[in-house]
Amino acid sequence: MQILTLENESLRQKANPIKKIGPEYVQIAKELVETLHAGEGIGLAGPQVGLQERIFAVHVEGDIPRIFINPSIIETSQETVKFEEGCLSVPGVYTNVIRSKAVKVQAWNEKGRPFTIEADGILARVILHEYDHLDGILFIDRIPEQKRDRILAKMDKAAQKKRA
């Protein structure tokens, strides 16, 4: 799987629900996790690799890799935390993002089994970050507009330099 970057318009599209979780999702899940490890990330959503489906993988230190298919956020904490985030689709950019400290999610795994998870800390942050990807939202959309514009201008300048 190849990770798409910011200039790819499909990152801004809302992903489609998966109608039937068949055996092919075991392989898709395996490839998502392998790709996220290769990119040295801790989360990767289907849209980031060109799959316009509601699936993502997370693997935070000290936990097992987890696959979320057709996830629904049941609740988020009112308490929020500011923490630095980055994204495999926005390489080289790291900035503070405010998110809920905890989240409760219902989803299915790659074998079609439903589960509910309550997470806090880094796991909650990664789940919320990847969930955003399913709705075409990038972490830079969650920062003040002026700061986002500066980041995008800097990235554009670097891309033009690279092409020259």
- Rounded Cα distance between 136 and 131, Å, is 9
Neighbours of 44 (CB within 10 A): 30
Q: Which of 32, 21, 95 is nearest to 58 (CA)?
A: 32
Q: Is the pLDDT of residue 96 over 80?
A: yes
Give the pair of three-digit tokens for residue 13: 């599209």
- Rounded Cα distance between 148 and 107, Å, is 31
- Rounded Cα distance between 138 and 13, Å, is 11
Out of 13-17, 107-111, 126-130, 154-158, which region has the weakest mean confidence (pLDDT)? 154-158
Which residue ranges form the domains of the chain, and what is each CATH number?
9-163 (3.90.45.10)
The single residue of 34, 53, 130, 145 carrying the catalytic annotation is 130
pLDDT higher for 162 or 148? 148
Q: Tell me the sheet residues that pair with 25.
A: none
- Rounded Cα distance between 143 and 110, Å, is 32
Q: Which of 42, 6, 1 is nearest to 152 (CA)?
A: 6
**pTM metric for this prediction:** 0.93
- Rounded Cα distance between 44 and 60, Å, is 12
Tell me what pLDDT residue 155 has.
79
Query: pLDDT tens digit string along 28-74?
Result: 999 999 999 999 999 999 999 999 999 999 999 999 999 999 999 99
- Rounded Cα distance between 5 and 11, Å, is 8
**Is-catalytic flag, 145?**
no
